[in-house]
Amino acid sequence: GVVDAFTGMVRGVGHPLEWISLGGRVLVIRSTKGSSGTPMVLNLAQLEGNAPVAFVNVEVDGLAALGCIVNEIPMMTELERDPFELIATGDHVVVDADEGVLRVTPRARN
């Protein structure tokens, strides 16, 4: 995969988030690749303290959902609007998956 489970760093060459740690962040993605290793990578990242604090997905992937459930990482999907229209990199995002609430505070832009 493109995420190093031990560091939480995206290491996919040319990836827009290359060398950025996902640890402690809300990860907004279209979908995961559906790899059978996704639950294990999330578990290792969680144990190392480098897992995302929440997922916001356009499309749900069963293996990512399983990884989130096992590791108690909130996941929201099937939002009324495309999350990429609502959220930009660096925005402050609060996810309350139990209530189905997503709060976005845009970061200060120059």
Tell me if 56 sits within 8 A of 103, measured CB to CB. no
Tell which residue, 62, 72, 79, 69, has the closest CA to residue 28: 79
How distant, in Å, are the alpha carbons of 1, 65, 90, 99 from that of 35? 8, 12, 27, 28
DSSP 85: H
- The residue from 21, 31, 35, 36 that is catalytic is 35
Tell me if 104 sits within 8 A of 87, measured CB to CB. yes
How distant, in Å, are the alpha carbons of 38, 67, 87 from that of 34? 7, 11, 23
35 catalytic? Reply is yes
| Active-site residue list | 35
